[in-house]
Structure 1
Amino acid sequence: MSFRKYGFAGIRTAVAVAALTAIGITIGAGAIGKAQAADPREELFQKFTAATKGKKVAWVPVWLGVLESEWTRVMKANFDNYGIELTMRDPNFKSDVQLQAVSTLINEKPDILIVQNPTTTLLARELKRAMQSGIKVIQVNMSSNTTTDAYVGADVPHMGRVLAQETLNVCGGGKGSGKVAILQGEATAAYSLDMTKAATEVLGTDPTIKIVSSQPTNWDANKGAEIMTNVLQQNPDLCAVISVWGPQTAGAAQVIKNAGKQGEIKVFVASDGQPADCDLQEQGLYTKILSYTANLQGEAIVNAALALLQDDRPAGSTQYAFYTTNYWVSGPQDRQYCFTVPKE
């Protein structure tokens, strides 16, 4: 631009035009920027996708039984939908295999490690190592002595208290013999330990109640049948049975039926809601089952993983708890609290 051509007045005019042009460009750019700004709902979804898509989740249950298969089915369906890769290892109830699987997976560095502990101690050290290496850890239903980023499962002591209170309602205060048997699971599993302890404490509040047996079945129906055979031989006037898990109770319930005492001896069972438990309840072998409904629990596991993936804090920084709700099943009208195994 030649200022000599326009003189001083021309210079002022040219500068003013240039300034207005620059302001116009700035205003226009701002308007365009605002027009192109992402919708807040879209921004939220983008953050979610960035935090979850392409992430890796490793899952090691005790074995791939009916309960664990339902958890796995729900996890896989949801994780596939979110673009999350799920790796599963089935130790088939072998503790040494499970420990090795967890150790190997830690070295593979998944973003989330999900475990079902067979005992309070087996995986405790490895879960701590996982968090120290930056892997967030979720424990399902049976916790270890190591507290991790999240626990998903039943409020186990609460279930024990509810089962015991139901037992007091029918056997306490001088009703019947007051004799009660408890079928534990694995003696060193937190799920069994905590439920048995809570139930025993509640039963102990009534002096008319006598716990005549409290033994581990190791989750096995045959062992449960063996225990119940011995209990009935010594206590034919048994009033009630409390069992910490459905499948292990089937043998004991059959022994009670064979002894001609079905309905007379009350059988109260903590259940994951698998179909066989509802079947046995409807057939009268179980008096009532207290279900925590595994398919809904599976959804809670997924939600815990999604929460941890979106949480910027490092592994070991949180202690989330996702406790699942319990429902009494006392007949076909409550069948919705038992899940349905999908057909292949």
Structure 2
Amino acid sequence: MSSRSFLSTGTRVALATLAIGVAGAAIASSADAADPRQQLFEKFESAVKGKKVAWVPVWLGVLESEWTRVMQQNFDNYGIELTVRDPNFKSDVQLQAVSTLINEKPDILVVQNPTTTLLARELKRAMSLGIKVIQVNMSSNTTTDAYVGADVPKMGRLLAKEALDACGGGKSSGKVAILQGEATAAYSLDMTNAATAVLKTDPSIDIVSSQPVNWDANKASEITTNVLQQHPDLCAIISVWGPQTAGAAQAVKNAGKLGKIKIFVASDGQPADCDMVEQGLYTKNLSYTADLQGEAIVNAALALLQDDRPAGSTQYAFYTTNYWVSGPQDRQYCFVVPE
């Protein structure tokens, strides 16, 4: 008699069922292990969860606070720790903050440069220590792992084209004034140079003033008042940043020239800039929408965290799209400040 005959029918059925179950579990386990979607998520989570990002803007103004809000919201979702330092527009404090954070060895360092040179050496040091660096909107003379921000020269050209359309070809005095930001900030420098080059293509255009106002509305008001006294027939003003332009617009209004002098503004999409357009104080506002830039900063950080190459090996660029705001119909291109 074979050994098989000693097993009851019930036992044989039970063993067969068990074998099928074990085989099924093995197949399911193999399928789970080979699931490419699950593998992709696990690889992502391993690369980003628990990582540290340090962020040093020039200050926590409306623009920078919006970037910070978007970063914090997203990084919290991914399990990334965000450290923020606010130098409050003090260059020495910002330099010290960056130096201290580098010594703390975050995985990613995000900076907004006040000038092309202030942080350049420290950004090189950060990358030499294995810290990946993202520069936002205002870059230094040091190229780092990623840049996130506006295509600044393009913005300058777009603003200048509007001024040419309004004032060029002999249809007016052709007089244009440019309000710079900080003279040594890449954002202001690059936009001013690009705008100037376009304006100079029309011999009827006369750039009667091109001065830095240091991002200050009061300084912009003072300079614009002086320009209007010397050139009451001014045709247009180009400004590299919305908030500083409020002072210039008020000076134009005080001179009784509101609507007669065109004001073209580059903007980060602050609500007040949309308000100024809707009130007729700015002619057009070229917005790069800070909330969308915040998302781009997050995406740049996520890309660098998943990139196995060492710090200093990449030069990613994330350029944001510009949108013209010329009235209430374009309100979506200015972000909403959370209450």
If the TM-score is normalised by the length of the shorter chain, which range does it land in? Answer: over 0.9
Name 2:244's counterpart in structure 1: 248
1:126 corresponds to: 122
1:149 aligns with 2:145: yes
Corresponding residue number in structure 1 for 2:162: 166
Structure 2 Cα separation of the partners of residues 159 and 251 of structure 1: 21
Output one character per residue of 1:321-342: Cα deviation in whole Å (capped at 9) or x when no partner: 0000000000000000000000
* Residue 294 (structure 2) pairs with residue 298 (structure 1): yes
Take 2:299 and 2:34, find their aligned partners in 1: how far apart are those partners?
A: 26
Distance (Å, rounded) in 2 between the aligned partners of 1:245 and 1:274: 10
TM-score by length of 1: 0.91
One-letter identity of the residue aligned with 1:134: G
* d(CA) in 2 for partners of 1:106, 1:127: 9
- CA–CA separation in structure 1 for the residues paired with 2:256 and 2:285: 21
Q: Which residue of 2 aligns with 1:69?
A: 65
RMSD: 1.5
Matches within 5 A, 1:73-112: 73-112=69-108
1:232 aligns with 2:251: no
- Aligned-residue offset at 1:33: 5.6
Equivalent residue letter for 1:342: P
Please give the alpha-carbon distance, in whole angstroms, between the structure 1 residues aligned to 2:31 and 2:199.
68
Partner of 1:202: 198
5+ residue gaps, structure 2, are: 1-18
1:274 maps onto 2:278 in alignment: no
Deviation at 1:38, TM superposition (A): 3.8
Distance 1:39 1:264, change over 3 A: same
Partner of 1:37: 33
Q: For 1:63-118, what per-residue CA distance to the aligned partner results, in whole angstroms no more than 9, with x for missing partners?
A: 00000000000000000000000000000000000000000000000000000000
User: Residue 222 of structure 1 corresponds to which residue in structure 2?
Assistant: 218
Provide the C-alpha distance between the structure 2 equivalents of 1:174 and 1:113, rounded to a whole number of angstroms: 50
CA distance in 1, matches of 2:75, 2:42: 17
Q: Supply the distance in 1 between the matched residues of 2:295 and 2:51 (Cα, whole angstroms).
A: 18
Provide Cα deviations, 1:124-174, integer angstroms capped at 9, x if missing partner.
Answer: 000000000000000000000000000000000000000000110010000
Aligned to 2:4: none
- Within 2, Cα distance between the matches of 1:114 and 1:326? 22
- 2:310 corresponds in structure 1 to 314
Question: Equivalents in 2 of 1:36, 1:206: separation in Å?
Answer: 66
Partners of 1:194 and 1:150 in 2: CA distance: 18
How far apart, CA to CA, are the structure 2 residues paired with 1:128 and 1:158? Answer: 27
Shift of 1:240: 0.1
Partner of 2:3: none
Deviation for aligned residue 1:39: 1.3
2:70 partner SS: helix
Which is further off, 35-44 or 220-229?
A: 35-44
SS of corresponding position for 2:63 = helix
Instruction: Please tell me the residue identity of whatever aligns with 1:306.
Output: L
Residue 141 of structure 1 aligns with an amino acid whose one-letter code is N
Task: Return the TM-score normalized by structure 2.
Answer: 0.92
Alpha-carbon distance between aligned partners in 2 of 1:328 and 1:160, rounded to the nearest angstrom: 13
- State the partner residue of 2:9: none
Following the alignment from structure 1 to structure 2, what is the Cα–Cα distance between the partners of residues 171 and 35?
A: 68
**3-state SS of paired residue (2:116):** coil
Corresponding residue for residue 213 of structure 1: 209
CA displacement, residues 239-280 of structure 1 (integer Å, 9 cap, x when unaligned): 000000000000110010111100000000000000010101
1:173-192 C-alpha deviation (Å, 9 max, x unpaired): 00110000000000100000
The match for 1:51 among 47, 60, 63 is 47
Distance 2:261 2:50 in 1: 53
Pairing 1:192–2:188 present: yes
Residue identity opposite 2:269 in structure 1 = G
Offset at residue 36 of structure 1 (A): 4.3
Aligned residue identity for 2:90:
K
Structure 2 Cα separation of the partners of residues 284 and 261 of structure 1: 12
Determine if the alignment matches structure 1 residue 340 to structure 2 residue 336.
Answer: yes
Q: Which residue pairs with 1:3 in the alignment?
A: none
Q: What secondary structure is seen at the aligned counterpart in 2 of 1:151?
A: strand
SS of the aligned residue for 2:139 comes to coil
Structure 1 unaligned residues grouped into runs of 5+: 1-23
1:30, CA displacement in angstroms? Answer: 7.4
Q: How many residue pairs are counted as aligned between the two chains?
A: 319
Separation of aligned partners in 1, 2:317 and 2:183: 24
Q: Which residue, out of 165, 180, 183, partners 2:179? A: 183
Please identify runs of 4+ aligned residues in structure 1 that moved more than 4 A. 27-33
